[in-house]
Amino acid sequence: MYVPGAVRFQDRRDAGRRLASLLEPFRDELPVIVGIPRGGVPVAAEVARVLCAPLDVVVVRKIGAPRNPEFAIGALAEGGVHVLSDRTVRALGFSDAVVQALIVRAEGELVERLLLYRGAREPARLSGRTAIVVDDGLATGLSALASVRSLRERGATRVILAVPVAAPESAQELRRHADEVVCVEEPAELWAVGYWYEDFRPTTDEEVSTLLERYGEPIPQTPTVADPHTRAPDDLVSSQDPAPATQKHGEPSAPQVGPRSTSPFTGPWRR
């Protein structure tokens, strides 16, 4: 469907390149680029590539209505942050018990996504840093708002929201929560985010994982500790050999123990 006056992005990579040109002033802040999976990650990856910045994700799950999961009444982000549209909840007449059940369901989906996208990868350290959170478009703004609050919880000093296209009313609302909102285009009538792309095919989980491996901060390697009981005979020191100069006679060598790996989940979920 053609929208008069629309900026037609070729695809998410093209949108990311155009968005990156508007984000050049933030390069000197050495930001972390944080994509909202799935569709926001290819856009964010292009921004990370152009700005030579590390890529991370903030995992968000839509809180959908009971009989229509695609209709969002809110959003949940990692760290236990959730955002609800009170007006929508009231209009649909949902009780507190129903809303709580929907949040619990979304939490379970969120944990699955965190394990899928992060695995052994630690979240990027945001304390004292600027985070630029990127999506492929801004419609209702619920997911973006949950993301901004989640990054604040992770310690980001400044949070910049960057999208190729946004509904003006949503962008204006998000300016009350993010330090800055950067958009390539804010059309008077958004219609739908997908109308602004020539190619808006769904982003897969595999694409998200591949882009994180390519542009994300490397996973620290834990040194392997040698077990003297399993070493090959050739590696063992003969009883006839003299003790090393740094080892006192009759004392065994102490194995070198590397740092323990830590879980990406460092605390309980908070509501």
The predicted-structure confidence for 12-70, as pLDDT tens digits, reads as follows: 999 999 999 999 999 999 999 999 999 999 999 999 999 999 999 999 999 988 888 77
Q: What is the pLDDT of residue 5?
A: 58
What 3-state class would DSSP assign to 218?
coil
Which burial class, exposed, middle or buried, applies to 60 when counting CB atoms under 10 A from its CB (0-12, 13-18, 19+)? Answer: buried
* pLDDT tens readout for residues 218-228: 766 655 455 44
Q: What is the pLDDT of residue 65?
A: 87
Read off the tokens for 92. Answer: 């649909």
Q: What is the pLDDT of residue 219?
A: 65
The beta-strand segments (E) located in 80-157 are 81-84, 130-134
Domains, in order of start, for the chain: 12-58+124-215 (3.40.50.2020)
> In this structure, are residues 122 and 212 in contact, taking their beta carbons and an 8 Å threshold?
no
Q: Which residues of the chain have pLDDT under 70?
A: 1-7, 219-271
* pTM to 2 decimal places: 0.77
Q: What is the pLDDT of residue 7?
A: 66
Q: What is the pLDDT of residue 230?
A: 44
Q: What is the pLDDT of residue 256?
A: 38
Bridging pattern class, strands 130-134 and 158-165: parallel
